[in-house]
């Protein structure tokens, strides 16, 4: 099979030929390079209007020249195009070109989600079964995992894409687009300074760190130090949330996607994290990380083989096309990213080793056992940042676990805290994680627990299905390390959003569970939180402000 792919979501006018027999991909690209500032949608569209016909013509000529002599008919079997997400004016040009070509050659048309293509090219190259994918691109930043016929969003940015965030800083100091490679170069001569570090369970936010970086530049901090610290903070946030996704799902495979994925420091952090976990990591070659038509053609071939094509009359582009909206027809009944959790007495989570202690030093059996949790040093993080986070989170977890209990939420008793060793000793609660025994009643109880926390001015910060323990007659919340005090409805809504995301990544029927958690919350909490949750759920969309 031979597939011609066309890409043009924002800046890269690109066409490619993918031959499934030889597993070879030829890519022709003509990137848009603005004279100043970021991507200007009108200028980008003008560039697409000129460049797309040229790159398509080059690839079509190659397809004709290399077609087997025995081939009867057109030199390609189908046309695949990036349907979204992206800049509307650019996508419309790509869609028009794809429809015209498919119609002229009388071949099928395949509409591809650009972000899913970033994931699938990594899965294709790596040979992994069901990896978690970190997409780190200009306009996006999210974690994806395959579950129950779709790619679920396990975590994502709550404001702007990671590349756009970096570009906003570089525009502020007068550097031209793209800013990422310039920051990477300047960071080589920089030293660490403190910047905001914002992880919200499985999600992250870049607005605070960008504002702080701009202010630091205005205050006269060395640009090299700001660039160094931007990378250390932003990429550590991405790596931490990626590890949380691996821990939540239980998978041991990770692929990287997106143009920001070309950054050597980000790849280094992810490699270090995966080695420490015993997980496998794959970063595609650079031509497949930046926006390109090769990944569109490769995924297009998989979709075409699954008879997942579109009629020309029903092939409208979608600038806000989310990856979790795509029916994954080409994978069938393949393994979900959600794997069964460990059951040993020594368990490794995203941040800590949890040891269930059953025997006293004297040899006597401890009944009931207790739990010793030790936050691990993270070698991928800068030592100063790592030490700060481990200390702050140990103190926060011990304090908020006890405060939540006083607010009427079942939590473990705290027996001992060693801040220097980042270790807490608790009593052992429950028989399993909620992830292993999801029911509507238990999820409804978690919703009520979160409402009680919020009434007491506490946010859990990381309420996933792995951070809820179930017993014979009680449901407990654990791991308050990302928690904090706040009465703001926005933070309360984010707590619910994080929990619902974890349900989407692990449950077979998440919709019924979504209703249950909201029902439980309404029975105790403020209805305004549910109203704000709708606003939060509307974020994380494609950010076209590059």
CATH of the domain at 387: 3.30.200.20
For residue 337, being part of any structural domain is answered with no
Residue 248's closest CA among 206, 285, 291, 203? 203
Q: Within this chain, do residues 419 and 533 fall inside the same structural domain, yes or no?
A: no
110's tokens: 């395949």
Q: Is residue 382 in a domain? A: yes
- Does a structural domain hold residue 333? no
The tokens for 280 are: 């496998």
**262 lies in the same domain as 158:** yes
Measured CA to CA, the distance from residue 236 to residue 233 in angstroms comes to 5
Where are any strands of DSSP class E within 125-271? 132-136, 141-147, 150-156, 199-200, 203-204, 253-257
What 3-state DSSP class applies to 477? strand
Q: Choose one of 380, 400, 427: the last residue of a domain.
A: 427
User: What domain count does the chain have?
Assistant: 4
The CATH number for 475's domain is: 1.10.510.10
User: Can you give the pLDDT at residue 188?
Assistant: 96
3-state SS, one letter per residue, for 63-74: HHHHCCCCCCCC
114 lies in the same domain as 51: yes
For residue 175, being part of any structural domain is answered with yes
- pLDDT, position 170: 95
Task: Respond yes or no on whether the N-terminal peptide bond of residue 278 is cis (omega within 30° of 0).
Answer: no
Digit-by-digit pLDDT tens for the chain (546 residues) are: 999 999 999 888 999 999 999 999 999 999 887 765 567 778 888 999 999 999 999 999 999 999 988 888 899 999 999 999 999 999 999 999 999 999 999 999 999 999 999 999 999 999 998 899 999 988 888 999 998 888 988 999 988 889 989 999 999 999 988 899 999 999 999 999 999 999 988 888 999 999 999 999 999 999 999 999 999 999 999 999 999 999 888 899 999 999 999 999 999 999 999 999 999 999 999 999 999 999 999 999 999 999 999 998 889 999 999 898 999 999 977 667 765 444 445 477 788 999 988 876 776 777 778 999 999 999 999 999 999 999 999 999 999 999 999 999 999 999 999 999 999 999 999 999 998 889 999 999 999 999 999 999 999 999 999 999 999 899 999 999 999 999 999 999 999 999 998 998 878 788 999 999 999 999 999 999 999 999 988 775 444 443
For 65, half-sphere exposure in the C-beta direction (CA atoms, 13 angstrom radius) is 7
Residue 542 maps to a domain: no
Do 247 and 213 have their domain in common?
A: yes
Structural domain span for residue 398: 346-427
Whether residue 367 sits in one domain with residue 353: yes
Do 459 and 394 fall within a single domain? Answer: no
Q: Has residue 231 been placed in a domain? A: yes
State whether 520 and 436 are in the same domain.
yes
User: Is 481 in a helix, a strand, or coil?
Assistant: coil
Do 252 and 145 fall into the same domain? yes
User: How far apart, in Å, are the Cα atoms of 346 and each of 356, 358, 375, 418?
Assistant: 6, 11, 13, 19
Which residue, of 367, 394, 427, is where some domain finishes? 427
Rounded distance, CA 92 to CA 78, Å? Answer: 19
Based on the fold, state whether residues 313 and 194 are members of the same structural domain.
no
Q: Which CATH number covers residue 137?
A: 3.30.420.40
The model's pTM is 0.91
| 235 and 148 fall within a common domain | yes
Best CA proximity match to 414, nearest among 480, 352, 367, 484? 480
User: Does a structural domain hold residue 154?
Assistant: yes
pLDDT the model gives residue 349:
78
- Tell whether 198 and 233 lie within a shared domain: yes
- Domain annotation covers residue 545: no
Q: Give the model's pLDDT for residue 147.
A: 85
Strand partners, 478: none
Catalytic residues: 462
What is the distance between the alpha carbons of residues 296 and 111, in angstroms, rounded to a whole number? Answer: 9
């Amino acid at each position: 099979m031979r597939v011609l792919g066309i890409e043009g979501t924002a800046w890269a006018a690109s066409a490619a030929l993918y031959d499934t027999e030889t597993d070879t991909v030829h890519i022709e690209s003509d990137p848009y390079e603005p004279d100043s500032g970021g991507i200007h949608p009108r200028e980008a569209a003008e560039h697409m209007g000129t460049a797309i016909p040229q790159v398509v013509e080059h690839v079509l000529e190659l397809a004709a020249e290399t077609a087997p002599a025995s081939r009867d008919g057109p030199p390609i079997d189908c046309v695949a195009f990036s349907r979204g997400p992206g800049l509307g004016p650019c996508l419309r040009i790509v869609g028009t070109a794809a429809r015209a070509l498919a119609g002229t050659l009388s071949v099928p048309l395949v509409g591809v989600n650009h972000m899913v293509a970033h994931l699938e090219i990594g899965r294709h190259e790596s040979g992994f079964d069901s990896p978690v994918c970190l997409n780190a691109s200009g306009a996006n930043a999210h974690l994806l995992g395959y579950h129950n016929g779709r790619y679920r969003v396990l975590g994502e940015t709550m404001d702007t894409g990671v590349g756009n965030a970096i570009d906003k800083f570089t525009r502020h100091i007068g550097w031209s687009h793209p800013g990422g490679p310039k920051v990477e170069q300047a960071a080589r001569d920089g030293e660490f300074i403190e910047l905001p570090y914002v992880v919200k369970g499985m999600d992250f936010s870049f607005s605070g760190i960008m504002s702080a970086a701009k202010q630091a530049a205005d205050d006269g901090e060395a640009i090299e130090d700001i660039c160094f610290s931007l990378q250390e903070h932003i990429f550590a946030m991405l790596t931490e949330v990626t590890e949380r996704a691996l821990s939540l799902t239980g998978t041991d495979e990770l692929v990287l996607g997106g143009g920001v994925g070309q950054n050597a420091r980000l790849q280094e952090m992810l490699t270090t994290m995966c080695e420490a976990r015993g997980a496998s990591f794959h970063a595609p070659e650079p031509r497949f990380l930046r926006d390109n038509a090769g990944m569109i053609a490769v995924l297009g071939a998989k979709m075409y083989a699954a008879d997942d094509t579109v009629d020309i009359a029903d092939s409208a582009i979608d600038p806000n096309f989310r990856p979790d909206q795509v029916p994954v027809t080409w994978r069938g009944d393949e393994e979900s990213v959600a794997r069964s959790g460990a059951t040993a007495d020594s368990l490794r989570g995203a941040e800590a080793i949890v040891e269930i202690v059953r025997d006293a030093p004297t040899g006597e059996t401890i009944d009931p056992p207790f739990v010793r949790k030790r936050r691990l040093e993270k070698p991928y993080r800068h030592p100063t940042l790592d030490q700060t986070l481990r200390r702050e989170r140990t103190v926060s977890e011990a304090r908020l676990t006890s405060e939540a209990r006083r607010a009427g939420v079942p939590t473990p008793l705290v027996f001992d805290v060693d801040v220097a060793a980042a270790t807490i000793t608790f009593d052992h609660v429950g028989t399993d994680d909620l992830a292993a025994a999801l029911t509507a009643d238990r999820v409804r109880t978690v919703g009520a627990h979160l409402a009680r926390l919020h009434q007491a001015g506490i946010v859990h910060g990381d309420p996933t299905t792995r951070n809820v323990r179930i017993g014979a007659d009680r449901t407990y919340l654990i791991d308050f390390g990302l928690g904090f005090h706040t009465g703001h409805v926005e933070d309360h809504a984010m707590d619910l959003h994080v929990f619902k995301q974890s349900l989407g990544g692990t449950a077979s029927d998440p919709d019924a569970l979504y209703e249950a958690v909201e029902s439980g919350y309404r029975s105790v909490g403020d209805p305004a939180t549910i109203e704000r949750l709708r606003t939060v759920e509307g974020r994380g969309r494609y950010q076209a402000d590059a």
